[in-house]
Amino acid sequence: VGDYSTSSITTYVNNAKSAGKKLLFQEWGACYYDTENNSCPVGNVLATSTRNANIKNWASQITAAGVPWLYWQVLPNDDPHYDFDFEIGIGDASWSTLQSAALAAGQATAAFDYSAYLL
């Protein structure tokens, strides 16, 4: 989870800037279970409020570092909770939290200029 802290991410942002590169934070997620976030195959189900707090906190940390992000993985239906479980279905209890985090990220200033890639 330390990798989700703004200070950790900012180190990579600064390294990328120094090298003339850009960053995108791809495929991060918040485990559905009470196991370590980087080892999430099974466990006891987290309280929705705890998982939502993790999503909100980690998304805001990534956003604060100025890096656009993509959540792993949004499903068009409820998450069946198989195997390593980071997914959020659009009908799940954490969907509105992820939506809010994404909308907030869309209003933030990025550390890099991506305008050349916009249509």
Q: What is the pLDDT of residues 28-69, one digit of tens each?
A: 999 999 998 888 888 999 999 999 999 999 999 999 999 999
Average pLDDT, the chain: 91
In three-state secondary structure terms, 27 is strand
- pLDDT digit string, tens, across residues 63-80: 999 999 999 899 998 888
pTM of the model: 0.90
Widest CA span in the chain: 45
pLDDT (0 to 100) of residue 84: 84
pLDDT (0 to 100) of residue 1: 46
Q: At what angle do helices 48-64 and 95-106 cross, to 10 degrees?
A: 10
- Alpha-carbon distance of 34 to 50, in angstroms, equals 9
pLDDT (0 to 100) of residue 78: 86
Q: At what angle do helices 6-18 and 48-64 cross, to 10 degrees?
A: 30
- Alpha-carbon distance of 105 to 88, in angstroms, equals 18
- pLDDT digit string, tens, across residues 77-99: 888 888 888 999 999 999 999 99
